[in-house]
């Protein structure tokens, strides 16, 4: 197959969606497929294979916040999109933004089937705007994404049952959801790694992920700060994001040992996981949290928020792997339990290494590949596009889009 991955940001691997796209592209190529990448240009993508770069788009007023999140929006350049899609067998859209939506429309004109993924949880946006706990606004966000994007795409990749259920609850009636983990690469495995000398006598707690409001790293700092083991614990946060300064300031007030905050390369991250003593995933909202799987695949026992809109809680093997959402005292209790029960923690560590095998990237790629084959077959039968009611206004807009696109193709072919 010739597969086109369409996503705004492919250069910055601190973004989880980017990391997922890179993993899937690598393994699909190993299986003999051609994977084209249509995304914003970046210094990291200069030598990328089959890359079709479009210009980055700067968001008025909010661009500094977007930069801190490690994300880049891309312009919907029809000419580049056409070049990327021409001759393709399938187009896979990672996000519901203008680049992807324009690619969807062009793919329809070219009779190329389209699938999509659901990687953007409304809370990823609303928490940043201090509106994350407003259910009405989050519900409207789901409705908006469906009305303007997802209702036009039949097959949707969902990284967890939780997010697939959220789509059903919010009326995504035209979609067929496919629950496929984002997968863990073989590099993440248990290794014997000595702690750095300065951490030899410390109980190291690790969390991996963006430093943003919905991830709730503040709860970990408060839990440690309130613990009788404060002086014994070293907190490491691996990630970057807009909350970095706030978290440092809070940790200076609460922690005996200065917090370590770094975004590190994969090899270094694997070392940190393997010398850490406990993994905490405190996020209020999470579609999957591949970082948590990476941690317990290396044998690191997790403690996870039981938030109803976090899929990560599915990885809890017993009640001591969960703490009450938003409650730092509940988290403190679980941290202290694992410090005081090292033998039980070691036994559970072995169970987690075995449990993690089901999330191997090799298995998940085959599942996604099957979705692509299904969409291609349905397209040949004329059943790949959902049957939806389209208003006269939408029809007029689509006709105008097709006419403009036809002119562009004519100009480029003369």
pLDDT tens digits for range 320-356 = 999 999 999 999 999 999 999 999 999 999 999 999 9
Q: What superfamily in CATH does domain 2-183+361-413 come from?
A: Glycogen Phosphorylase B; (3.40.50.2000)
Which pLDDT value is given to residue 410? Answer: 64
Give the tens place of pLDDT for each residue, 81-117: 999 999 999 999 999 999 999 999 999 999 999 999 9
Q: What is 197-357's CATH number, 3.40.50.2000, 3.65.10.10, 3.20.20.80, 2.40.128.20?
A: 3.40.50.2000
The pLDDT tens digits of the residues spanning 160-175 come to 999 999 999 999 999 9
- pLDDT tens digits along 373-392: 999 999 999 887 887 767 66
**How confident is the model at residue 412, as a pLDDT?**
63
Domains 2-183+361-413 and 197-357 fall in the same CATH topology:
yes
Domain boundaries, the chain: 2-183+361-413, 197-357
What pLDDT was estimated at residue 14? Answer: 63
**pLDDT, averaged across the chain:** 92
Minimum mean pLDDT among 189-198, 213-222, 296-305, 381-390: which range? Answer: 381-390
Q: In this structure, what is the dihedral angle of CA atoms 318, 320, 326, 332, given to the nearest 10 degrees?
A: -170
Residue range 256-274: mean pLDDT, rounded:
96
Cβ atoms 359, 184 nearer than 8 A? yes
Task: Pick the more confident residue, 48 or 347.
Answer: 347
Q: What is the pLDDT of residue 13?
A: 66
The rounded distance, in Å, linking the Cα atoms of 344 and 267 is: 28
Categorize the per-residue pLDDT at 133 as very low, low, confident or very high, splitting at 50, 70 and 90: confident
Q: Listing from the earlier edge strand, what are the strands of the sheet with 203-208?
A: 260-262, 233-238, 203-208, 278-281, 302-305, 322-323
Percent of the chain with pLDDT over 90: 78
pLDDT at residue 209 greater than cutoff 80: yes
**Residue 70 in this model has a pLDDT that exceeds 80:** no
Structure tokens at 132: 């994350």
DSSP designation for 42: -
Q: What average pLDDT does range 237-257 have in this prediction?
A: 95
The average pLDDT across 259-276 equals 96
Count of positions (residues) in the chain: 414
Q: Does the structure show a pLDDT above 90 at 138? A: yes
Work out the percent of the chain whose per-residue pLDDT is above 70: 95
DSSP string, 171-239: T-TT-EEEE----B-TT------PPPGGGTTSEEEEEES--SGGG-HHHHHHHHHTSTTGGGEEEEEE-
Pair 104, 93: CB distance under 8 Å: yes
Q: Which residue has 């290494």 as its token pair?
A: 353
* H and E: helices and strands count for the chain: 15, 15
With 80 as the cut, is the pLDDT of residue 414 above it? Answer: no
> Quick one: average pLDDT of 119-126?
90
Please give the average per-residue pLDDT across 178-196, as a whole number. 95
Asked if pLDDT for residue 186 goes beyond 50, the answer is yes
């Amino acid at each position: 197959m010739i597969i086109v991955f369409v996503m705004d940001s492919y250069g910055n691997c601190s973004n989880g969606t980017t990391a997922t796209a890179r993993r899937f592209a690598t393994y699909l190529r190993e299986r003999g497929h051609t994977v084209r990448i249509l995304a914003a240009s970046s210094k990291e993508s200069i030598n990328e294979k089959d890359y079709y770069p479009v210009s980055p788009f700067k968001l008025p007023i909010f661009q500094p916040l977007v930069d801190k999140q490690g994300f880049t929006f891309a312009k919907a350049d029809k000419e580049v999109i056409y070049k990327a899609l021409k001759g393709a067998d399938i187009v896979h859209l990672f996000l519901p933004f203008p680049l992807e939506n324009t690619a969807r429309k062009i793919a329809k004109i070219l009779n190329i089937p389209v699938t999509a993924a659901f990687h953007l949880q409304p809370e990823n946006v609303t928490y940043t705007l201090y509106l994350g706990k407003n259910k009405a606004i989050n519900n409207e966000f789901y409705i908006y994404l469906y009305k303007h994007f997802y209702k036009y795409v039949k097959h949707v990749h969902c990284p967890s049952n939780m997010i697939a259920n959220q789509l059903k609850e919010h009326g995504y009636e035209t979609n067929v959801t496919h629950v496929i983990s984002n997968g863990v690469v073989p590099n993440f495995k248990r290794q014997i790694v000595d702690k750095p000398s300065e951490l030899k006598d410390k109980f190291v707690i690790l969390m991996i992920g963006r430093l943003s409001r919905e991830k709730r790293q503040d709860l970990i700092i408060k839990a440690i700060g309130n613990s009788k083991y404060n002086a014994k614990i070293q907190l490491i946060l691996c990630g970057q994001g807009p909350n970095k300064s706030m978290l440092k300031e809070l940790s200076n007030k609460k922690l005996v040992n200065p917090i370590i905050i770094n975004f590190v390369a994969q090899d270094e991250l694997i070392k940190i996981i393997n010398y850490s003593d406990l993994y905490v995933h405190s996020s209020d909202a999470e579609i999957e949290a591949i970082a948590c799987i990476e941690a317990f695949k290396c044998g690191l026992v997790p403690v996870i928020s039981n938030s109803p809109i976090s899929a990560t809680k599915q990885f809890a093997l017993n009640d001591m792997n969960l703490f009450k959402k938003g409650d730092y005292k509940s988290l403190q209790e679980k941290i202290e339990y694992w410090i005081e029960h090292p033998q039980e923690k070691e036994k559970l560590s072995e169970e987690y290494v075995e449990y993690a095998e089901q999330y191997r990237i090799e298995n998940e790629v085959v599942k996604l590949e099957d979705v692509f084959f299904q969409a291609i077959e349905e397209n040949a039968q004329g059943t790949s596009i959902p049957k939806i009611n389209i208003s006269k206004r939408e029809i007029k807009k689509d006709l105008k889009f097709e006419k403009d696109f036809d002119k562009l193709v004519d100009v480029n072919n003369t």
